Amino acid sequence: MGYSLGIGENTRALVIARSLREMTKLGVAMGGRADTFPGLAGLGDLVVTCTSPHSRNRHVGEQIGAGKPIDEIIASMNQVPEGVKAASVIMEFASSYGIHMPIAREFDGVVNHQRTVEDAYRGLAAENPGHEVDCASF
């Protein structure tokens, strides 16, 4: 979605780093091992999802950013973009475990609650820096 707003490579790296941190915090809260997330199952999958032109989830984000309705995007696909289906469930888990997940929150807002991409970006820009650091308060 960020590409539609013209984000640069540094901002993309920031979003990926903070996304990894959000994934790790929730995964650990749910009983996962923190050292799983910097590996292929965490960071590896995240990087491919965010950067590959073959990624279903990236395709959905690009289409949303281009202004297409989520229902239309999904109906045009032959595969399931799991990020869309998982967004509300992730937010339920985050709430039940008390985990602050601003990127997941904003994505869920866009795909499930009629939030605009611009509003989501403003919501992320308003977050305090440091979410990707272990000692930072979420």
User: In angstroms, rounded to a whole number, what is the distance separating the alpha carbons of residues 36 and 99?
Assistant: 18
- Please report the pLDDT score of residue 130 as a whole number: 62
Q: Which residues of 120-136 are buried (b: 16+ CB within 10 A; e: fewer)?
A: bbebbeeeeeebbeeee
CB of 102 within 8 A of CB of 124? yes
List, for the chain, all residue ranges whose pLDDT scores fall below the cut of 50.
135-138
In the chain, what are the domain boundaries?
A: 2-125
- Please report the pLDDT score of residue 136 as a whole number: 44
Whole-prediction pTM: 0.85
Q: Domain 2-125, what architecture? A: Orthogonal Bundle (1.10)
Please report, to the nearest 10 degrees, the dihedral formed by the alpha carbons of residues 115, 91, 1, 38 taken in order.
Answer: 160
Q: What is the largest CA-CA distance in the chain?
A: 43
- Please report the pLDDT score of residue 43 as a whole number: 95
- Please report the pLDDT score of residue 129 as a whole number: 65
